[in-house]
Structure 1
Amino acid sequence: MIIKKIIIRADASIQVGTGHVMRCLALAQAWQDKGGEVIFILANKSTALENRLLSEGIKVVYLLAETGSYEDANQTVDFAQKFNAQWIVVDGYHFRAKYQKAIKDFGIRLLVFDDYGHAEHYYADLVLNQNIVVNNKDLYRNRETYTQLLLGTQYALLRREFWQWQNWQREINPITRKLLVTFGGSDPDNVTLKVIQALDWLNKDDLETIVVIGGTNPHHEVLQKEVSNSSLAISLQRNVSNMPELMAWADLAIAAGGSTNWELAFMGLPSLVITVADNQKAIATELDTQGIVIHIGWYQQITLEKIGMVVQEFIYDQSKREEMSQKGKKLVNGYGARHVTSKMANMLS
């Protein structure tokens, strides 16, 4: 059997966060399960991310060009040819029309992750948008005749650690006792601190809270000091590898918008969402409209009191949490990564 190889070109940084790389990791793991090999090309050095990828048996190489440039595309193609890769996967808003065309001109299969129709034209073989707001194809009207669209939450990508929780059933407790706070890999604006301060304002001494931050979060010392000075039961955990277990432990989550929302939905964990990036607003609003999350609002516009009052309301609202949990589990079934990689594999046969 010929081992099929794919190149994944994605970036992570304090400003960009780690979401692009982590959802690509879910795709990589599903590809490995089919017997394939994966090489990640990154632009920025991150020891934490590199170690995570290496621990998954994934090769990591670094780019020597401006991200999203023609030289970026050329170097990515050179790596693909060197490793005899059959697919290139790109995830990032700087991989626009010219970049896609540059790769396709070399005759290599291309999958592009997308969230809101960021490119002027799509030359990719597959465009993957796993978001709930993708209810029409107008975003991708400007595409090649061969470009196929994978749209909607049936393609939501979950990492391998979530797969074993496929049939797990959550028990919704009458009163919220355990709270999970997570704002992604970097959280450059330190919204995590605002949430901790809101919990201090709420002052519920019977509420146990775990705050999770990523390895690229620049505010670790500030957050550790805030947690140490709090009189509440709050613990800070960094760069965790057991996120499903923490989501199963919690009764309620406070989280950013983005890919974490699909993990929370899959785990049936009722969630209060604070948006921290413009591209999260439409998705969070739609999730709120459908009763899957509560969108508290844009992080700069909400007060500590607003966050605390919403948490207070949901501590005792068992029926609402039950409803949110059931709707979330219906939205994300956990098979998205397998659906996408099966499509990729079939297009090679």
Structure 2
Amino acid sequence: MMQSGKRFVFRVDASLQIGTGHVMRCLTLADALSRQGASCLFVCRAHEGHLAALIRARGYRCMLLASSGQAAKLAEEGSGLAHAAWLGCSLQTDAAQTAAILADIRPDWLIVDHYALDARWERSQRQYVGRILSIDDLADRRHDCDVLLDQNLGRQAADYAGLLPPHCQTLLGPSYALLREEFARLRSYSLQRRARPALKRLLITMGGVDKDNATGQVLTALRGCTLPPDCRITVVMGPTAPWLENVREIAATLPWPVDVRVNVGDMGQLMTDSDLAIGAAGSTSWERCCLGLPSISISLALNQVGILEALDRAGAVLSVRLEVNARFKEKMVEFMSRLVADSSLLEKISDHARQICDGQGAERVVGVLQE
């Protein structure tokens, strides 16, 4: 049991550009920490599409930093990091604003999940915090942290060579994937129900924001596919998704029943009850793997390409890169034809996927933070 009153501060953002995944996985870790008696506070910038209301609804304080609207300029003139535009202000400004909050709280741990922050920012917070956990997926910048978490398949310590201080402990791979406890709870039943695979329920999840309307492109591609006549389709969208009404319009034209759901609270059960997912190659990949859910996985951005390639090598998905594939519709038709013609392919993909992640990652990370 974690020492009562231990304090954790999360510095993480969501926006129409960033998406929701970083905040969602931090909420998962916060929930696991809270179950052990810790208190958690979130510090987020007020970008368009921020999730402060959701964070507060989950029972956590969330302090919002003002958004300056200078992202485009800062991408060119700012910190030099590939994702500098995600910050919405200079690195120095963000560091000073965050430090003012941390100086009052003096948390035991600062947890940083942001591609636009690096060792310079982390170093500036050192005097106000006990220790620092950095969550990363890219291995493209230096960190000044005590623990580094990168939950992606195929990640190796050598990828962070020269980017971490000598004392830093690394937590690498999907065994540390931050999944809500429902996934571990549902895993056994989900795997059992795949003993006799059949394509009756199709789940489409292209991320909480889906700013480029990949969901609409998937639904349009499905028009040309041959699915079982009794197939039912569920589409999951986030509350800030800008293309929601367009997706509903397209869904109404498909020959199969399509249920478009917003801000669902039972994603684990939806995945468990589905026979195939078409989903973005982001952090929800590990949720699908935990449940053995066969997937057509699509990379929507460069930071998802590594995940997609690793899953493809493991035989855990059928993969396609939307941003570079002019034949996306043809690829979808090919994949669906193969899956409908050979149900054993669903079983093969499921068998490979289930070996990648068991859903216990958040508890493993909490165990490290307790040490």
TM-score by length of 2: 0.87
User: 1:130 touches 1:151 (CA, 8 Å); kept in 2?
Assistant: yes
Contact kept, 8 Å, 1:9 with 1:40, in 2: the verdict is yes
Q: Distance in 2 between matches of 1:30 and 1:268?
A: 23
Aligned with residue 298 of structure 1, among 322, 329, 332: 322
- 1:227 and 1:234 in contact (8 A); partners too: yes
Specify the SS of the correspondent of 1:165: helix
Letter in 1 for 2:219: I
The whole-number CA distance in structure 2 between the counterparts of 1:318 and 1:33 is 41
Measure, in 2, the Cα distance between the counterparts of 1:210 and 1:181.
6
Instruction: Specify which of 104, 115, 126 is matched with residue 137 of structure 2.
Output: 115
Question: Matches of 1:174 and 1:143 in 2, distance apart?
Answer: 45
Matching residue of 1:276: 300
2:342 & 2:114 partners in 1: Cα distance? 39
Q: Which amino acid aligns with 2:242?
A: P
1, 4, 16: which one aligns with 1:14: 16
Shift of 1:45: 5.3
The CA distance in 1 between the partners of 2:99 and 2:5, in whole Å, is 19
SS at match of 1:39: strand
Q: In structure 2, how many angstroms separate the alpha carbons of the residues matched to 1:262 and 1:49?
A: 22
Q: Tell me the distance in 2 between the aligned counterparts of 1:47 and 1:107.
A: 28
CA distance in 2, matches of 1:112, 1:127: 5
Counterparts of 2:208 and 2:129, CA distance in 1: 34
Instruction: Verify the 8 A CA contact 1:288 1:295 in the aligned structure 2.
Output: yes
Identify the residue that residue 315 of structure 1 maps to in structure 2.
Answer: 340
Could you say which residue in structure 2 is the equivalent of 1:231? 255
| Pair 1:162-2:169 in alignment | no
Gaps of 5+ in 2: 68-87
Asked if residue 85 in structure 1 is aligned to residue 110 in structure 2, the reply is no
- 2:205 aligns with 182
Displacement of 1:197 in angstroms is 0.8
1:67–1:94 contact (8 Å) kept in structure 2 = no
> Would you say the 8 A contact 2:30–2:40 is kept in 1?
yes
Query: Following the alignment from structure 1 to structure 2, what is the Cα–Cα distance between the partners of residues 151 and 57?
Result: 29
1:270 maps to a residue whose letter is P
CA distance in 2, matches of 1:24, 1:10: 8
Q: CA deviation at 1:317?
A: 2.5
1:96 to 118, 133, 155: 118
Q: Which residue of structure 1 lines up, in the alignment, with residue 351 of structure 2?
A: 326
Deviation at 1:285, TM superposition (A): 1.0
Contact 1:17 1:185 in 2 (8 A): yes
8 Å contact kept, 1:163–1:334:
yes
Residue 163 of structure 1 and its aligned partner are, at CA, apart by: 3.7
Report Cα offsets for 1:3-24 as digits up to 9, x if no partner: 1111101111111110111111
Which of 213, 221, 227 aligns to 1:198? It is 221
Aligned match of 2:76: none
Contact 2:320/2:328 (CA < 8 Å) preserved in 1? no
Letter in 1 for 2:287: E
Q: Per-residue deviation at 1:300?
A: 4.5
Question: Does the residue aligned with 2:186 lie in a helix, a strand or coil?
Answer: coil
CA offset digits 1:62-118 (Å, max 9, x no partner): 013745612212322332232342111111110112112112244531111111212
Query: Greater CA deviation, 65-74 or 89-98?
Result: 65-74
Partners of 2:317 and 2:238 in 1: how far apart?
A: 23
Q: Which region of structure 1 is more displaced relative to structure 2, 236-245 or 197-206?
A: 197-206
Structure 2 counterpart of 1:240: 264
Query: Residues 202-245 of structure 1: CA distance to partner in whole angstroms, max 9, x if unpaired?
Result: 15333211011111210011111111233321111111111011
**CA 1:196 to 1:107, structure 2 compared with 1: closer, same or farther past 3 Å?**
closer
Number of aligned residue pairs: 345
Matched to 2:247, the amino acid is L
Equivalent position SS for 2:103:
helix
Letter in 2 for 1:22: M
1:125 to 146, 151, 168: 146
Shift of 1:47: 7.7
TM (normalized to structure 1)? 0.93
| Counterpart among 286, 300, 319 of residue 262 in structure 1 | 286
Query: Percent identity among equivalent residues?
Result: 32
- DSSP 3-state at the match of 1:264: helix
Matched residues in 1 for 2:366 and 2:198: separation? Answer: 41
Contact 1:288 1:294 in 2 (8 A): yes
Paired residues of 1:9 and 1:88 also in contact (CA < 8 A): yes
Q: Which moved more, 1:253-262 or 1:131-140?
A: 131-140
Does the C-alpha gap of structure 1 residues 176 and 68 become closer, same or farther in structure 2, counting only changes over 3 Å?
farther
Question: In the TM superposition, what whole-angstrom CA distance separates every residue of 1:247-280 from its partner, at most 9, and x where no partner exists?
Answer: 0111000001110100000011000111101011
Amino acid at match of 1:30: A
Deviates more, 1:2-11 or 1:137-146: 137-146
